[in-house]
Amino acid sequence: MKKPKSMKHPPLPGEGLADALVPTAFVTMAVLNKIGAENDLSLTLIRVLGILLDRRPRMAELADYLGLERQTMSGLIARAEKKGLVARAPNAEDGRATDVFLTSEGVKLVKRLHAQTQQALTPLTEQLGASDQQRLQELLLRMLDGRKS
């Protein structure tokens, strides 16, 4: 007696892509979690430090961008200040607002974290040739740019 064929639906558009993206995200997050643990940093703080590398946002803008309550953001920044990684200053245009920026120690740490991340992800990315790596980078950046709209 034959087993009945499974009632599997045909793949939806993008379903195979999602099936590849999710484990890729998990592997990437595992790398970031390990680096965070080695440096006594939360993933959220790693993200904040990365954002601050090339900009000086207002606290409220940073909280909104990260989807955090302002009180949560304030506590996170206070902990980073205690570690000497960030500082706050009144915004030049609006004295009621506060800007957040990296200290020189923060900049050094972000650069070290970047190097650690690059090294940790190399075993994944080196399996692709240079042109495939470039194409994947372009596609991922385009995909992320699309979500800002």
**pLDDT by residue (tens digit) across 24-66?**
999 999 999 999 999 999 999 999 999 999 999 999 999 999 9
pLDDT tens figures, 75-129: 999 999 999 999 999 988 888 889 999 999 999 999 999 999 999 999 999 999 9
Coil, helix or strand for 8? coil
E-strand ranges in the chain read 86-90, 98-102
pLDDT digits (tens, 9 = 90+) for 4-27: 555 565 556 556 888 889 999 999
Q: How far is CA 65 from CA 6, 7, 8, 14, 59, in A?
A: 44, 42, 39, 27, 10
> Any idea where the domains of the chain sit in the sequence?
27-144
Backbone angles phi, psi at 88, to 5 degrees: -120, 150
Give the whole-angstrom CA distance, residue 104 versus residue 72.
24
Question: Taking 60 as the threshold, does the pLDDT of residue 149 lie above it?
Answer: no
For 121, counting Cβ atoms within 10 Å of its Cβ (0-12 exposed, 13-18 middle, 19+ buried), the class is middle
Are 56 and 101 a contacting pair, CB within 8 Å?
A: yes
Q: Name the residue with higher pLDDT: 142 or 149.
A: 142
Per-residue model confidence (pLDDT) at position 27: 94
Task: Indicate the CATH number for domain 27-144.
Answer: 1.10.10.10
pTM, entire model: 0.79
